[in-house]
Amino acid sequence: MGSGEPPARDFIRQMIDEDNRTGKHEGRVHTRFPPEPNGYLHIGHAKSICLNFGIAEEYGGLCNLRFDDTNPMKEEDKYVKAIIEDVKWLGFDWGDRLYFASDYFDQMYEYAVQLVKDGKAYVDDLSAEKISEYRGTLTTPGKESPHRDKSAEENLDLLERMKAGEFADGEKVLRARIDMSHRNMNMRDPVMYRILHATHHNTGDKWCIYPTYDWAHGLEDSIEGITHSICTLEFEDHRPLYDWYLDELGAYHPQQIEFARLNLTHTVMSKRKLLELVEDGYVNGWDDPRLPTISGMRRRGYPPAAIRSFCKRIGVAKVHSTVDFEFLEHCIREDLNMTAPRFMGVLRPLKVVLENYPEDKVEEMELMRNPEEPEAGTRKVPFSRVAYIERDDFMENPPKKFYRLAPGREVRFRNAYLVTCKEPVKENGEVVELRCTVDPETCGGDAPDGRKVRSTLHWVSAVHAIDAEVRLYDRPFTVPDPLGQKDTDFKTFVNPDSLEVLRSCKVEPAVGNLEPFDLFQFERLGYFCVDPDSTKQKLVLNRTVQLRDTWAKIQKRQQAK
Ligand code: ATP
Ligand code: MG
């Protein structure tokens, strides 16, 4: 999508090329993105979405969106809705192939009956604790359940009664009958069904037994005729079990391919951890712009094309690695630099009175909409006698190398005039206003005598300015790896300064015409977007990312190593 360059031949694409060459799936390529609706999607999921939908698109194949909704205790319809919205927003389309694992519950049950009849599955009375105890360890074999050797008829009867609701939660389970001393712990008689008297968001109260993830997942892919079942590395050890189930059932086999999950510095990615931050009030909901959720990034102003470009550029591999948050920001900045219109806004205003500028005069100054895109043309910005500039663009006693405004110094007000500061006005020792003059010969910002000034400031005309609240964000955690700190809860490392709210910002009038989620650059300050909290009375803006690109520096350091 979008960026045009041919996708790299990573190991997954090489495998698919090979399958196509040998005609393994008759040249078909059919992938799927299978989220569990137990939380909102994050940027790790974006990687998986771009990979699955991207591959289908490249090979002229199909990609399904399938909800892996086998656990009614944790899943909710609101998550289904949010996930659908997020995948669409990222720019992908599953046509009419929106599926739910719960659509297949009947068929899964039929498959289970088949295994029971073949003596390959049995109903067990052991408690969850006992099952785990009997499982053994990586170095010691497990122990067989005393209930393992019942007849198929007896097991079938018990399974039917489990389904009919005769037993309480946890009283019985259905297990595959494989090998309690198998080297791979996943093969030690794994549980296939557990009893849960819970209402399911799709099937209501029809079922009181629910399939485990491991029993369900391979079946879902098989039922949908998925050719390449792409998943993260932790499922590598589960592949033999999925294969065992499908072999015993004589069912269609997708090819599972594992890749390393995305990790990002200074944040956490698991839905369970994100839920903790949301529920314990560390952030303001799943779409808090500090979170790496797709809805958080949308609200922060990250363009979907930039997220897709990031996912493409990090590539896929078989070994775990962590991507610097700065690289994500670099991709965002790169995209916005080309696309975002420019405006002026002052975050921490300092009033400037231009004493020799007429009281009632207003001039329309002409500024570029986007210097990267000259065809976009110019915009008009009103200029008058009283303006706001950034508080830290003035110093009363400037140190060496501070070239901005100071008493007696001349600077440029962008595309307006050269302005000289006469003196600051103080109240209780604090500078509250600057008395300045303009050189009337310099309208547009340049002196006819060619004299130079060392800095150019942004400004907003006071009578025309719109008030705005601006929210500035910093990284959500103070350490690069909040989950990897021994014996310390990750929430200990939540950055207390990750949100700063500035309530008296002054912005150029045209910003008031923007809609929620519109993106733009405030000259010299960074990229911003309109927050959906904005109302007619109150404009609320988010800073998406700063202008300064720290990624280049990090890259240099890494190359030096
Ligand atoms: P989480 O631990 O964040 O809840 P999950 O793997 O349990 O993640 P699922 O809803 O089961 O979440 O994931 C849907 C798909 O997204 C799976 O195929 C999974 O492998 C993939 N996925 C999840 N997290 C990442 C990640 N960090 N990087 C790449 N792919 C991921
Ligand atoms: Mg999961």
pLDDT tens by residue, 207-218: 999 999 999 999
Instruction: Give the mean pLDDT of 396-401.
Output: 95
CA–CA separation, 85 vs 136, rounded Å?
A: 44
Give the Å distance between the CA of 442 and the centre of ligand 2.
63
The total of other beta-carbon atoms located within 10 Å of residue 487's CB is: 4
So what's the pLDDT on residue 485? 86
> 258: Cβ–Cβ under 8 A, 6 or more apart, which residues?
230, 231, 232, 233, 235, 236, 239, 318
Q: Which residue, by CA, sits nearest to atom 22 of ligand 1?
A: 45
Give the ligand at the shortest distance from the Cα of 270. 1
So what's the pLDDT on residue 7? 55
The residue that leads in pLDDT, 153 or 485, is 153
Domain ranges of the chain: 11-261, 271-341+468-560, 345-458
**Mutation test residue for ligand 1: of 31, 45, 242, the one with most atoms within 8 Å of CB:** 45
**E strand spans, 19-126:** 30-33, 62-67, 98-100, 121-124
The residue that leads in pLDDT, 9 or 293, is 293
CA–CA separation, 231 vs 454, rounded Å?
A: 55
pLDDT above 70: percentage of residues in the chain: 99
Amino acid letter, 140:
T
Q: Which residue, by CA, sits nearest to atom 14 of ligand 1?
A: 35
So what's the pLDDT on residue 253? 93
Nearest Cα to 307, choosing from 91, 95, 18? 91
Instruction: Give the mean pLDDT of 117-127.
Output: 98
Indicate if the pLDDT at residue 65 is higher than 90: yes
- 34 CA closest ligand 1 atom index: 14
464 lines ligand 1 (CB under 6 A): no
Give the Å distance between the CA of 39 and the centre of ligand 2.
10
Burial of 23 per CB tally in 10 Å (0-12, 13-18, 19+): exposed
Give the Å distance between the CA of 44 and the centre of ligand 1.
7
DSSP-assigned letter for residue 459: -
Indicate the pTM of the whole model: 0.94
Instruction: Give the mean pLDDT of 186-205.
Output: 97
Helix, strand or coil for residue 558?
helix
Residue 174 in contact with residue 159, Cβ under 8 Å? Answer: yes
Instruction: Give the mean pLDDT of 497-507.
Output: 97
So what's the pLDDT on residue 2? 40
CA angle 469, 474, 478 (to 5 degrees): 150
For all residues of the chain together, what is the average pLDDT?
95
Give tens-digit pLDDT for 264-287: 999 999 999 999 999 999 999 999
- 230 CA closest ligand 1 atom index: 18
Q: Which residue, by CA, sits nearest to atom 1 of ligand 1?
A: 270
339 lines ligand 1 (CB under 6 A): no
Answer whether 271-341+468-560 and 345-458 agree in fold: yes
Give tens-digit pLDDT for 280-321: 999 999 999 999 999 999 999 999 999 999 999 999 999 988
So what's the pLDDT on residue 548? 86
Burial of 547 per CB tally in 10 Å (0-12, 13-18, 19+): middle
Residue 354 in contact with residue 436, Cβ under 8 Å? Answer: yes
So what's the pLDDT on residue 4? 45
So what's the pLDDT on residue 555? 74
User: Strand 262-264 relative to strand 321-323: parallel, antiparallel, unpaired?
Assistant: parallel
Give the Å distance between the CA of 496 and the centre of ligand 2.
29
Helix (H), strand (E) at residue 422 = strand 418-427
Q: How would CATH label the architecture of 271-341+468-560? A: Beta Barrel (2.40)
Looking at domain 345-458, which of 3.90.850.10, 3.55.40.20, 3.40.50.300, 2.40.240.10 is its CATH number?
2.40.240.10
Give the Å distance between the CA of 95 and the centre of ligand 1.
22
Indicate if the pLDDT at residue 559 is higher than 90: no
SS (H, E, C) 373-425: CHHHCEEEEEECCEEEEEHHHECCCCCCCCCCECCCCEEEECCCCEEEEEEEE
Helix, strand or coil for residue 399?
coil
User: Would you give the distance in Å from CA 207 to the centre of its chain?
Assistant: 34
Residue at token pair 């919205």 = 85
Helix (H), strand (E) at residue 544 = strand 539-545
CA–CA separation, 384 vs 455, rounded Å?
A: 20
Give tens-digit pLDDT for 333-374: 999 999 999 999 999 999 999 999 999 999 999 999 998 889
48 lines ligand 1 (CB under 6 A): yes
CA–CA separation, 398 vs 391, rounded Å?
A: 13
Radius of gyration of the chain (CA): 31
b/e burial code for range 174-189 (CB count within 10 A of at least 16 → b): bbbbbebebeeebbbb
Q: What are phi and psi of 21, to 5 degrees?
A: -65, -40
Indicate if the pLDDT at residue 1 is higher than 70: no
Nearest Cα to 218, choosing from 190, 184, 195? 190
Residue 325 in contact with residue 479, Cβ under 8 Å? Answer: no
pLDDT interval class at 550 (50, 70, 90) = confident
Q: What are phi and psi of 309, to 5 degrees?
A: -65, -40
Q: Which residue, by CA, sits nearest to atom 3 of ligand 1?
A: 270
pLDDT interval class at 5 (50, 70, 90) = low
For residue 13 the two structure tokens come to: 């694409």
CA–CA separation, 479 vs 499, rounded Å?
A: 16
Nearest Cα to 452, choosing from 398, 412, 408, 399? 412
H-type alpha helices, 380-455 = none
pLDDT interval class at 228 (50, 70, 90) = very high
So what's the pLDDT on residue 201? 95
Domain 11-261 of CATH type 3.40.50.620: yes
Give the ligand at the shortest distance from the Cα of 274. 1
Catalytic positions, written as ranges: 36, 261, 271
> 80: Cβ–Cβ under 8 A, 6 or more apart, which residues?
37, 67, 69, 201
CA–CA separation, 371 vs 369, rounded Å?
A: 7
- When mean pLDDT is compared across 66-70, 262-266, 372-376, 499-503, the lowest value belongs to 372-376
User: Strand 98-100 relative to strand 539-545: parallel, antiparallel, unpaired?
Assistant: unpaired
Helix (H), strand (E) at residue 430 = strand 430-438
